């Protein structure tokens, strides 16, 4: 193997936190020359990436995500793991007044030498934010982080993106599961490999009821031949109760599931998505805006079907 060429690569691979932070900043930059450099760096360190367990974590604001990540992350870091916390929050990086992945929300983990916390890339489209976070995962893994926690807020499309970049997806719920189930979109429940009723310390009996309800809902949502039966657990991020069980379940999942295959499938979908986006951009850049508007108007007015309009555009015919 030849010596690393990018100036940041050696320090990054040696696990230097500052190099990692700078590499992520480089990958977040919108400047074209930075993008070229970032892609070169990513390609260079790629062979060292992939050796982690990637957990996605979601739940409505206030459910206790940052408290939970702090408590679980500290446990893992104290046990010798290197834990990276990333976030996907396209809502201008602010949700419910808190910044996703903000260090001040995880004060213990923020100063732990085995942990690295990076807030959500701000601004841009969900696709852009998700891409930056994917790249950050690669960079963290190359820097030796073996547990990657990706936080997202349980209200929209970002969950699908995070589930597509992680190995398992954890939904945090509140002990009042009846109300909670109404608040959580069915689509998010369908993504969950683990559901954890947090704040079980507040009302243990309600937490048991919630766990039972969640378990029933998960059973209904899971096809009979699914390779993994999603589990419902109880925990308290404040007392630490149940956190070991959550980690044990994550490890069961990692053992029982074919993670390399899941990642290969994710990579293929990701490639297709990027290709679709790039091909679309390239096509639109080479097409007269007037022509696009003309055809769109024809479709709106019912003069052409959408299929005819697209065919005309691709064939370069006048409408």
* Chain contacts with ligand GDP (rule: CB under 6 A): 59, 61-67, 98, 198-199, 201-202, 236-238
- For the bound state, the minimum distance from the C-beta of residue 178 to ligand GDP, rounded and expressed in Å, comes to 19
- Give the shortest CB-110-to-ligand GDP separation in angstroms: 14
* C-beta of 239 vs 293, nearer to ligand GDP: 239
The residue (of 70 and 141) whose beta carbon lies closer to ligand GDP is 70
Ramachandran region, residue 242 (left: φ > 0; alpha: ψ -120 to 50; beta: rest): left
CB of 4 to ligand GDP, least distance (A): 37
In the bound state with ligand GDP, the residue whose beta carbon lies nearer, of 67 and 176, is 67
Tokens of 21: 């932070």
For the beta carbon of residue 96, count every other beta carbon within 10 angstroms: 11
- Nearest approach, Cβ of residue 106 and ligand GDP (Å): 9
Smallest gap from Cβ 70 to ligand GDP, in A, equals 8
Q: What is the closest distance, in whole angstroms, from the C-beta atom of residue 283 to ligand GDP in the complex? A: 41
Provide the minimum distance between the beta carbon of 87 and ligand GDP in the complex, in angstroms, as a whole number. 10
Closer to ligand GDP by CB, 7 or 96: give it: 96
Residue nearest to ligand GDP (CB): 64
* Residue 59 or 230 having the CB closest to ligand GDP: 59
In the complex, the smallest distance separating the C-beta of residue 198 from ligand GDP, rounded to whole angstroms, is: 5
Phi/psi for 284 (5° steps) reads: -65, -40
The nearer residue to ligand GDP, 86 or 304, going by C-beta atoms, is 86
C-alpha 147: how far from its chain's center?
13
Q: Which is nearer to ligand GDP, 45 or 235 (CB)?
A: 235
| Burial bucket for residue 230 (CB in 10 Å: 0-12, 13-18, 19+) | buried
Pick between residue 112 and residue 131 the one whose CB is nearest to ligand GDP.
112
């Amino acid at each position: 193997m030849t010596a690393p060429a990018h100036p940041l690569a050696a320090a990054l691979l040696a696990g230097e936190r500052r190099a990692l932070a700078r590499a992520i900043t480089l990958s977040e930059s919108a400047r074209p020359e930075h993008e070229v450099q970032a892609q070169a760096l990513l390609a260079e360190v790629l062979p060292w990436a992939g050796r982690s367990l990637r957990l996605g974590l979601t739940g409505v604001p206030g459910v206790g995500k940052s408290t939970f990540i702090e408590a679980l992350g500290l446990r893992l870091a104290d046990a010798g793991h290197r834990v990276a916390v990333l976030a996907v929050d396209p809502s201008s990086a602010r949700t419910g007044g808190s910044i996703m992945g903000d260090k001040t929300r995880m004060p213990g983990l923020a100063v732990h030498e085995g942990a690295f916390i990076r807030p959500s890339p701000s601004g841009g489209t969900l696709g852009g934010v998700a891409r930056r976070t994917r790249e950050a995962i690669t960079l963290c893994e190359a820097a030796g982080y073996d547990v990657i926690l990706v936080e997202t807020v349980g209200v929209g499309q970002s969950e699908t993106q995070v589930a597509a970049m992680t190995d398992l997806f954890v939904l945090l719920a509140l002990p009042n599961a009846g109300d909670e189930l109404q608040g959580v979109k069915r689509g998010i429940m369908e993504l969950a490999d683990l559901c954890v009723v947090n704040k079980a310390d507040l009302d243990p009996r309600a937490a048991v009821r919630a766990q039972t309800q969640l378990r029933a809902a998960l059973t209904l949502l899971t096809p009979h031949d699914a390779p993994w039966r999603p589990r419902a657990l109880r925990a308290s991020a404040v007392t630490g109760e149940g956190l070991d069980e959550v980690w044990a379940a994550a490890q069961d999942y990692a053992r029982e599931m074919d993670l390399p295959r899941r990642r290969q499938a994710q990579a293929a979908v990701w490639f297709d998505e990027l290709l679709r986006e790039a091909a679309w951009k390239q096509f639109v850049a080479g097409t007269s805006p007037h022509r696009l508007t003309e055809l769109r108007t024809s479709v709106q007015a019912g003069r052409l079907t959408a299929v005819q309009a697209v065919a005309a555009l691709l064939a370069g015919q006048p409408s």
